[in-house]
Amino acid sequence: MNAITNVVGQSLEDGARVARLKKAVDEATYGGCIERAVLWSEYYMDEANDGKSTAVQIAEATRHVLANKTVKIYPDELIVGNFTAKRVAGICYPELGGLGIMIGVDKLPTRKVNPLEISEDEQAKLQSYIPFWMDKNMVYLAFDGQEEQMRFVKEQIEALQYQLYEAGGIAHLAPGYEKVIKLGAEGIIAEVEAFEAQTNDPSKLDFYQSVKISMNALAEFGDRYATEARRLAEAEADPQRKLDLERIAEVCARVPRYGATSFYEAVQSMTLTHIAIFQETIGETTCPGRVDQFLNSYYEEDLAAGRISRQEAKDILGAFCVKLCETIPMYSDELTSMLGGLTSWEVVTIGGQDSEGNDATNELSFILLELADELRMRQPNFHVRLHENTPKAFYDEVIRVNFGPGSAPAMYNDETIIESMMNVGYSLEDARDYVAIGCVEPTAPGKTLGSTDAGMYNMALALEMALNEGCQFGSDRQIGVKTPPVSSMKSMDDVLDAYKVQVKHQLGKLHADLQKCEQFHAKYHPTPITSATLEGCLEQGVCSTQGGAKYNFSGIQGTGMAVVADSLGAIESAVFEDKWLTLEELVAHLKDNLSDEVVRTRLKGIDKFGNDIPKADAWMKWVGDHYSDSIHALGKNTRGGQYLAGVYSNTSHTHFGGLINATPNGRRAGETFASGFAPENGADKRGSTALINSMNRIDFKKFANGINFNIKLDASSYDCDDGKSALGSMYKVYFKRHGMQVQANMLDPKILIEARDNPELHPNLLIRVSGYSAYFNDLSPEMQDEVISRSSNGAEQ
């Protein structure tokens, strides 16, 4: 076998190639691809496959897809592999949550939010499989009887109390790509055979067989690219490109079949495995993980041997990053409102420490940060790990990359996260190796089925129901428990008791539904490729969906935390302390949507979370602690792991907020909640340092599934040397006092325009004039315009 020993001299053109790849992907029309659905259906409709074990069926169906799906190598590509038949498209999974998409597929091209191109022929073809999957899809198989199925579907669509993403597939993990890169599919097969020889257990043997089928399919998938590259090379007129294609052919003939022998092969092996996992099951939020760590030895060896330059490694990684943008989720309208945008949450985690606790920042960490800065694409999500010994040069670079279009990298505090993970059972070494999954969820890569986004829970509904005997205001639909009427609540404790009862009841329901989904995956949708990469599965002979991985968790996110905290604080202050209205009067005002402006203004004026006011912040801590304890009280999931509490919201805060009536914090019906672990919009009026002081009153170690703290900053204030160093110090203080995660939202001058148009959104924007005391919101419209125009000029300079 000829390994690629020298990529030096390729037409890498110092980043220009990656820029061209980016351009092609940026300009591609987003589509929906039916190929996986068609091939999957073909396999299951073929009666010859009836009667095989579920695991073998999944493995063979995946093989059928990998062997027959379109194989494409696009111009300029160095790293090859196509998720779908289109350049940028989503995949439909009929056996999981795809049925809803199939039924409404005709609306996809024309819908307002996130339209997806899909031809009429493709639509018709996709719809032709609907009858077949009606009684073979996840909901049908997970829930008993039509009534239960209908209830679950209805509740999922309405998403008032909660939404379960595990109903659409588990994903939400970082597979052990390191293992595939090292051993290759053949190496894993050898490992499987060794285990096989030690057991007679039919269920284990069945699982092993499924893994072998899958690994062969993965190896052959690589061969297909080798063949295609050779074909293209023969036809290629440009000698330079011809050389590229020949190299691609050599690389794909080796990986992922065999262990990688170079940096280039390692990245290619990871790419094709990643794409194969997207065919096996839903792929969104399957995360590459600590790419800078597990690729570093390949990079250093190649570098030392003169087989690669820094720029070449950067181009290869850049090509990989661009590739991650070629997949988008194919969501129904309902899911789009919860998950917004077209992110596929493929997280690349950068920096941090090694399993011994030493700083692990390396040259690849810097290269990835540069790519984050230069590419600024939808994917991958770049998440940065920081700790006490993070090199200053790296930290400065992270702060620098905070500025620019698009989202800033999310930053994680190793200290808090490692401790929170150990609290729920990770070993110190494994916790130190954590990656962030999806939005913010820490897990140990290659050994955890974290199902970190199993569900989203609407906390604010519990409060509304606590104030209305288990119903929403103006409705007699008994969603919750019939708790006592407010007329009989004589103290804050009475209110809290009712709230606790409603939370417990809702989470109980969520738990029951979630366990049905878990059991579906265990019984009907094993994942042999994914499992083969996860420590524990082969050793035990158990698929990860059945609890084979070393660690097993399910993460449930609470949304609306600040609205509940501020509301409880408002009730305490207005009703039980200052007594300027009774609880009954308050609820009457809420039912009337706070149309009395004086009452609403008074409620708004009560101290809120995020202003460095201990009492208001204590409510946030209470609500958070109670939520975390309630989730932990759910016990074990069916994979034998713990349920973990997280606080982030994607866009569910807008969706849930839209369904909740007026709340005691002065919010009117339908208004959005704050995102994740943040103060209510506009409630933090005393600036970022006060906000961080408030955040630091929270015990984040209770949220092992992660939190999202999105801090909105006026970029013009910080985008200078002094500002950057102040920003860096601000984050450091937050982390030093056990902050967990933070991601900046740099807005400029948009934030000023937004603040002018919606004064309630940004009450805390300072006017940057020395010795001057006023907030932007205090200015007259004319003066606001004047400030905006100054700031826009500044931005152009």
For binding to another protein (CB under 8 A), which residues are involved?
597-598, 601-602, 605, 612, 686-690, 692-693, 717-718, 722-723, 725-726, 729-730, 732-733, 736-737, 766-774, 778-780, 782-783, 786-787, 789-790, 793-794, 797
Question: Partners of 647 in the beta sheet?
Answer: 707
C-beta closer to another protein: residue 10 or 390:
390
- Pairwise CA distance, residues 252 & 281, whole Å: 23
Tell me the two tokens of residue 42: 């073909």
Minimum separation from the CB atom of position 732 to another protein (A): 5
Which of 257, 604 has the CB closer to another protein? 604
* DSSP reduced 3-state for 445: coil
Cβ(84)–Cβ(33) under 8 Å? Answer: yes
Beta carbon nearer to another protein, 158 or 778: 778
Shortest separation between residue 786's beta carbon and another protein, angstroms: 6
The answer to whether 403 and 416 have CB atoms below 8 angstroms apart is: no
Q: Work out how close the CB of 599 gets to another protein at its nearest, in angstroms, rounded to a whole number.
A: 8
* CB closer to another protein, 9 vs 605: 605
Q: Which is nearer to another protein, 600 or 626 (CB)?
A: 600
The answer to whether 128 and 92 have CB atoms below 8 angstroms apart is no
Closest distance to another protein from the beta carbon of 702 (Å): 22
In the complex with another protein, which residue's Cβ is closer, 201 or 778?
A: 778
As a three-state string, the secondary structure of 349-391 is EEECECCCCCECCCHHHHHHHHHHHHHCCCCCEEEEEECCCCC
Question: Cβ distance 195 to 230 under 8 Å?
Answer: no
CB of residue 661 to another protein, shortest distance in Å: 22
Element (H, E) at 137: none
- State how far Cα 684 lies from the chain centre: 26
Per-residue DSSP letter, 700: G
In 592-642, where does DSSP find H-type helix? 597-605, 614-632
Torsion 716-719-721-726 (CA) sign: positive
Q: What's the min distance (Å) between Cβ of 692 and another protein?
A: 8
Beta strands in 82-167 (DSSP E): 88-91, 162-164
Whether omega before 445 lies within 30 degrees of 0, making that bond cis, reads: no
Cα–Cα distance measured from residue 610 to residue 561, given in angstroms and rounded to the nearest whole number:
12
| Beta strand spans in 403-490 (E) | 410-413, 435-437, 441-443, 448-449, 455-458
User: Rounded to the nearest whole angstrom, what is the least distance from the CB of residue 574 to another protein in the complex?
Assistant: 11
What's the min distance (Å) between Cβ of 783 and another protein?
A: 5
User: Given the complex with another protein, which of 472 and 784 has the nearer CB atom?
Assistant: 784
Shortest distance in whole angstroms from residue 597 CB to another protein: 5
Query: CA-to-CA distance for 475 and 368, rounded, in angstroms?
Result: 52
CB atoms within 10 A of CB 98: 27
Q: Given the complex with another protein, which of 5 and 729 has the nearer CB atom?
A: 729
Residue whose CB is less far from another protein, 67 or 726: 726
Nearer to another protein, 27 or 597 (CB): 597
Q: How many helices (H) and strands (E) are present in the chain, helices listed first? A: 34, 14
CB of 297 to another protein, least distance (A): 36
Angle at 421 between CA 450 and CA 372, to 5 degrees: 70
Look at the alpha carbons of 513, 515, 519, 522 in this order and tell me if their dihedral is positive or negative: positive
Q: Which is nearer to another protein, 271 or 791 (CB)?
A: 791
Minimum separation from the CB atom of position 719 to another protein (A): 11
Q: Which tokens go with 310? A: 């820094």
- Least Cα distance to 226 among 256, 259, 257, 248 occurs for 248
Nearer to another protein, 342 or 599 (CB): 599
Residue closer to another protein by CB (options 147, 782) is: 782
Least separation, in Å, of the C-beta of 793 and another protein? 8
Name the minimum Å distance from CB 665 to another protein. Answer: 15
**Helix, strand, coil distribution of the chain in percent, nearest 5:** 55, 10, 35
Are 646 and 705 contacting, i.e. CB atoms less than 8 angstroms apart? Answer: yes
Q: Tell the residue number behind the tokens 């709230």, with chain if given.
A: 499
